[in-house]
Structure 1
Amino acid sequence: MNKFRIGLIGLGGMAQEHIRWMNEENMYQFVAVSDVNGEAVARVGDQLGIEDSKRYADFHHLIEDPDVDAVISITPNNVHADIISACLQAGKPFLAEKPFTRVFEEAVPLLEQYERQPVPAMIGFTYRYTPAFRYARELVRTGKLGTIRHFSIQYLQGFGVPSEQVPYMWRYNKAITGTGTLGDLGSHMIDMARFLFGEFEEITAQLHTIIPERRDPVTGAMAQIEVDDFASFQARMTGDIMGVFQTSRNAFGSGNQHEVSIYGDFGTAHASTLDPDRLIWIREEEPGQLSRTTMEVPEHCKVKQYADFAAVLRGAPADGVPGFMDGYRNQEVLDAVIRASEARAAVELPN
């Protein structure tokens, strides 16, 4: 079987994870790389055996390269929209990192462009591929939990706690990132809610900056933080399912703790990245007798993101693939969270 020829844009730390994931599938061949950092281009180009003529400083040249079948974009938020737009213009399939764009205003013209000329696409909501979350979705969709009444989702990291003395970086620069933990971690929570339950209808929210300044490693001075590092919001979803969300980079002791609790009439399910191959299921097996069982996730729920991306490229996307519209809807909800926080009022989402 011929492998898909990949052009990789953005060669920072996360690029190595994507390279590893693609290599595990044995369906991809790297043929071009691009980054504004020349040292990174040289280093990763050597690592992947990319010829010199396919090492680009300008991502437009990579996207236009006829030897590139599909583009993988692993970049900071401020270039997401430009890269997606260039892929749409060139008719080039792509996988782009989340959040979809830096701000919602950048997403609107992309939707117009996509409606004129759609291309196969995936947005990097990787937690759809956590087996426990996929099993939770199966329990919801098959009615094993009964009618879903409410849920909670949290995504906690200890990345930014004061004792870590994390310096000022692009993730704290509003001009580059748009939002802080909301767009970085909160976008995953929003996607998980949509993946499990459907669309958002109404939101109330509060955004906060716990650590107001951090030391700039370039100047040595303290830099003001203009983006959130804590976000909480409540939502009413399709079918009057109520949800509570929180995310923080200042949760001491949390490494990468993304989890969901789902409450239905017949049972409760808990799933977490801390135990990705198991799910806790609470249900009534006998009248008045509750059973709390840690379930092993079945093999059919262990799907890999890049196996699904290959199916997208073949023109046969699987159910639940996070596509272009999932990215757009996600950005729409992020914008509603911001507006709800600023207005201190409920914000309704478009139907």
Structure 2
Amino acid sequence: MRQFKIGLIGLGGMAGAHIRWMKEQGGFTIVAVSDVSPEALERTGAKLELGPEKQYADFRDLTQDTDVEAIVAVTPNQVHAAVIQACLEAGKPFLAEKPFTRSFEEARPLLELYERKPVPAMLGFSYRYTPAFRYAKELLLEGRLGKIRSFSSQYLQGWGSALYDGYYTWRYNKAVTGTGALGDLGSHMIDMARYLFGEFEQLSAQLHTFIPERRHPSGGMAQVDVDDFASFQAQLAGGVVGVFQTSRNAIGSGNQHEIAIYGDAGTLHASTVDPDHLVWIREESPGQLAKSVIDVPQRCKRTQYGDFASLLAGEQPEGLPGFMDGYRNQQVLDAIVRSSEGGTAIRLQP
């Protein structure tokens, strides 16, 4: 098996998951790491048996390492744009976490650079690899639901609820994140809608901060300057209408990303709560509805790192979230913010 030599940027909590996924997939060898924390560098470097010369405090130095064939970036949002820029300038393929950037202003120059110096690129919209969502896409392409009229999408978590009195973290800091629940969770809903139905054409939105202050770990209270709830409705390609909500204040929701799709010939429900099944409602006989739980076929059970390996091998897997998916996603996020601030509908440019 071909072993791709990976440089890993960002050694926080999610880095452990990416290291595990690469190991489970096979075909990846981490040859260099980067983080601003000397302790994290030393700890992860020792775990991966990397010498000090392969432990970089500055990620830009890692992108210049000739042993590194491709980059995996797992960093807070304020570094996303700079990491992508460094990868493009170094000509290194990459897998970068979402959201694409903190703002659309940061995204624009990256597109200009990418058009001049394109590289194989993948964005971390991992729910494209939830089997139920992938099978839903297949059924839509086959026309099994007839003409699609509308859908509802939600992504709910509960860890930010007042009940838990959680501490202030970087996810509540606009300078670090750009937006709150919107960019963190809402970007996944946007990507899934684009994957299933096509481009956004028009939307209107509301953003709210239910808990404006949180306890700071070092004492006192800290101001929350990002949203912890977002709702929006949109028209997508072909006149399909969608309603969206995302929140970190939904007690009882662990990681609940789900969608209901309504067509002239039936309804589909897909969710991360039951990733290997779909609920399909359709007319079984005239005037008689049938509701069934259907198994997702094995062909829909692909992995993010399986597709990343294929991308690095020169292929272009169907449905892989690439550079332009990240860019378009950021464009929609920007429109949502502008709509909420201005209290008006926003039409998106093609």
Would you say same fold, with TM above 0.5?
yes
Q: Equivalents in 2 of 1:242, 1:26: separation in Å?
A: 40
Percent identity between the aligned chains?
66
Q: Hey, what does 1:9 align to over in structure 2?
A: 9
2:162 maps to a residue whose letter is P
Secondary structure in 1 matching 2:21: helix
What is the CA RMSD across the aligned residues, in angstroms?
0.6
Q: Equivalents in 1 of 2:314, 2:82: separation in Å?
A: 24
Q: Hey, what does 1:341 align to over in structure 2?
A: 340
1:338 maps to a residue whose letter is V
The answer to whether residue 61 in structure 2 is matched with residue 61 in structure 1 is yes
Report deviation, 1:2: 2.7
Q: Hey, what does 1:239 align to over in structure 2?
A: 238
How big is each residue's C-alpha offset from its partner over 1:209-257, in whole Å with a ceiling of 9 and x where there is no partner?
0001001112x11111110000000000000000000000000110000
Secondary structure in 2 matching 1:268: strand
The correspondence of residues 63-212 of structure 1 with structure 2, limited to 5 A, is 63-212=63-212
Count residues with an aligned counterpart: 350
The answer to whether residue 277 in structure 2 is matched with residue 278 in structure 1 is yes
Point out where structure 2 has 5 or more consecutive residues left out of the alignment.
none
Q: Equivalents in 2 of 1:302, 1:48: separation in Å?
A: 29
Q: Equivalents in 2 of 1:46, 1:279: separation in Å?
A: 43
Secondary structure in 1 matching 2:152: strand
Secondary structure in 1 matching 2:61: helix
1:16 maps to a residue whose letter is G
1:140 maps to a residue whose letter is L
Report deviation, 1:50: 1.4
Report deviation, 1:25: 1.0
Q: Equivalents in 2 of 1:21, 1:165: separation in Å?
A: 32
2:89 maps to a residue whose letter is Q
How big is each residue's C-alpha offset from its partner over 1:77-97, in whole Å with a ceiling of 9 and x where there is no partner?
000000000000010000000
Report deviation, 1:186: 0.3
Q: Which runs of 4+ in 1 moved over 6 A?
A: none
Q: Equivalents in 2 of 1:163, 1:261: separation in Å?
A: 29
Secondary structure in 1 matching 2:238: coil
Q: Hey, what does 1:298 align to over in structure 2?
A: 297
How big is each residue's C-alpha offset from its partner over 1:167-201, in whole Å with a ceiling of 9 and x where there is no partner?
11110011000000000000000000001000000
Q: Hey, what does 1:45 align to over in structure 2?
A: 45
Q: Hey, what does 1:332 align to over in structure 2?
A: 331
1:195 maps to a residue whose letter is Y
Q: Hey, what does 2:31 align to over in structure 1?
A: 31
Report deviation, 1:162: 1.2
Secondary structure in 1 matching 2:299: helix
How big is each residue's C-alpha offset from its partner over 1:254-293, in whole Å with a ceiling of 9 and x where there is no partner?
0000000000011100000000101101111211111101
Secondary structure in 2 matching 1:239: helix
How big is each residue's C-alpha offset from its partner over 1:10-62, in whole Å with a ceiling of 9 and x where there is no partner?
00111111111111111100100000011111111111111221011000111
Q: Equivalents in 1 of 2:47, 2:132: separation in Å?
A: 34
Q: Equivalents in 2 of 1:275, 1:48: separation in Å?
A: 34
Secondary structure in 1 matching 2:251: coil
Report deviation, 1:305: 0.4
Q: Equivalents in 2 of 1:61, 1:17: separation in Å?
A: 24
Q: TM-score, normalised by structure 2?
A: 0.99
1:77 maps to a residue whose letter is N
Q: Hey, what does 1:311 align to over in structure 2?
A: 310
Report deviation, 1:104: 0.7
Secondary structure in 2 matching 1:85: helix
1:13 maps to a residue whose letter is G
Instruction: Single out whichever of 137-146 and 104-113 deviates more from structure 2.
Output: 137-146
Report deviation, 1:165: 1.6
The answer to whether residue 247 in structure 2 is matched with residue 255 in structure 1 is no
